[in-house]
C-alpha cells in the first residue's frame, strides 16, 4: 500500500506501535484498574463512555491514515482463489464458529429458564470482568452502544488496519502470519479481562480475521461481531412480569 506522504507512513507506524505495544499496557494497568474500581452504575457508565470515546478516536485516526477503501478490503483477494474443497472446509468451520457464538441468543429465545442459565454462565465465565455487564435499563442501552462501537471499531482497526499494516506497509508477512499476529494483538488488547478473556478474544480474532479474508470484505465481520456482542443485552435483560410470575408459579404447580 502506497501512502501519499512520508507523514502518513510515519503515522501508520505510530498507530501500529500503539496497537501492538501501548494499548495492551494501558489495558493491563489502566483498564483493569478502572474495572476493579467499578462499584456502582455511574462508574460503569463512565467506563462505557471511556471505551467508546477512545475506540472512535483510534478508528478516526486509522481512517485518516489510510482512507476508507483500503480498510474495508483484505490486502489480497479473498478465499475464492483457494481450491473448492478448501473453501468448503474453511467456510464450514467459520459458519460453525459463529453459530456457536450466537447459540446463547438462539437458546435464550426458547424461554426464560434458558436465558437465565446463560446469564449465570456469563457472570461465571467473566469472573471479575463481569463488573462491566449491564444490569439496569440505562446500562443496557449504553452497553448496546458499546457493542455497536466494538463491532465497527475493532473490525476497522484490528482487522482492516492491522492486516494492511502487516501485509503491505511494514513487514510484508504471509497472510497466515498476519492472521495469527493480528489475533494475538486483539487478544492482548483485552488483557483487562484476564487470561481467559485474552484466549477467547484471540480465538475470536482468528475467526473474524478468517471471515474477513474469506469474504473479501469487513461488512459481514462487522455485522456478526456486533450481533455477538449485542446478544448480551438480550440475555441479561430483566425478565418480564409474565415471565417472573410463571417462573414463580412453576414449582407450585408440580
Query: For residue 2, what pLDDT is reported?
Result: 55
Query: For residue 88, what pLDDT is reported?
Result: 85
Query: For residue 173, what pLDDT is reported?
Result: 82
pLDDT in tens, the chain (254 residues): 555 567 778 899 999 999 999 999 999 999 999 999 999 999 999 999 999 999 999 999 999 988 877 789 887 655 545 567 777 888 899 999 999 999 999 999 999 999 999 999 999 988 889 999 999 999 999 999 999 999 999 999 999 999 989 987 767 788 889 999 999 999 999 999 999 999 999 999 999 999 999 998 999 999 999 999 999 999 998 764 444 544 455 544 43
Number of structural domains in the chain? 1
Helix locations, the chain, DSSP H:
6-17, 23-26, 32-37, 41-66, 68-72, 84-101, 103-108, 112-126, 137-154, 162-164, 175-188, 194-215, 219-235, 241-249
Give Cα 128 to chain centroid, integer Å.
19
CB 108 within 8 A of CB 114: yes
The answer to the question of residue 245 being in a domain is: no
The answer to the question of residue 15 being in a domain is: yes
The answer to the question of residue 117 being in a domain is: yes
Query: For residue 120, what pLDDT is reported?
Result: 93
CA–CA distance from 199 to each of 55, 176, 187, 203, 207 (Å)? Answer: 21, 18, 6, 6, 13
The answer to the question of residue 197 being in a domain is: yes
Helix locations, 102-193, DSSP H:
103-108, 112-126, 137-154, 162-164, 175-188
The answer to the question of residue 247 being in a domain is: no
The answer to the question of residue 158 being in a domain is: yes
The answer to the question of residue 141 being in a domain is: yes
Query: For residue 89, what pLDDT is reported?
Result: 85
| Domain boundaries, position 36 | 6-240
CB 211 within 8 A of CB 223: no
Query: For residue 36, what pLDDT is reported?
Result: 93
Task: Count Cβ atoms below 10 Å from residue 78 Cβ, excluding itself.
Answer: 15
The answer to the question of residue 248 being in a domain is: no
Amino acid at each position: 500500500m502506497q501512502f501519499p506522504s512520508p507523514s502518513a507512513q510515519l503515522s501508520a507506524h505510530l498507530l501500529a506501535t500503539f496497537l501492538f505495544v501501548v494499548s495492551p499496557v494501558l489495558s493491563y494497568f489502566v483498564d483493569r484498574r478502572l474495572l476493579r474500581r467499578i462499584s456502582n452504575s455511574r462508574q460503569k457508565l463512565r467506563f462505557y463512555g471511556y471505551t467508546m470515546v477512545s475506540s472512535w478516536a483510534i478508528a478516526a485516526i486509522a481512517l485518516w491514515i489510510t482512507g476508507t477503501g483500503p480498510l474495508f478490503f483484505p490486502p489480497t483477494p479473498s478465499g475464492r482463489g483457494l481450491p473448492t474443497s478448501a473453501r468448503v472446509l474453511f467456510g464450514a468451520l467459520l459458519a460453525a464458529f459463529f453459530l456457536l457464538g450466537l447459540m446463547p441468543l438462539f437458546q435464550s429465545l426458547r424461554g426464560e429458564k434458558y436465558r437465565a442459565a446463560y446469564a449465570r454462565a456469563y457472570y461465571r465465565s467473566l469472573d471479575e470482568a463481569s463488573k462491566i455487564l449491564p444490569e439496569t435499563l440505562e446500562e443496557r442501552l449504553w452497553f448496546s452502544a458499546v457493542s455497536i462501537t466494538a463491532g465497527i471499531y475493532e473490525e476497522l482497526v484490528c482487522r482492516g488496519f492491522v492486516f494492511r499494516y502487516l501485509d503491505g506497509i511494514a513487514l510484508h508477512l504471509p497472510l497466515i502470519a498476519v492472521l495469527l499476529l493480528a489475533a494475538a494483538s486483539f487478544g492482548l488488547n483485552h488483557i483487562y479481562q484476564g487470561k481467559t478473556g485474552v484466549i477467547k478474544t484471540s480465538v475470536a480474532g482468528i475467526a473474524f480475521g478468517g471471515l474477513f479474508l474469506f469474504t473479501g470484505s469487513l461488512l459481514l465481520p462487522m455485522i456478526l461481531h456486533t450481533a455477538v456482542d449485542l446478544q448480551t443485552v438480550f440475555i441479561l435483560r430483566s425478565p418480564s412480569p409474565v415471565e417472573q410470575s410463571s417462573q414463580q408459579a412453576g414449582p407450585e404447580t408440580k
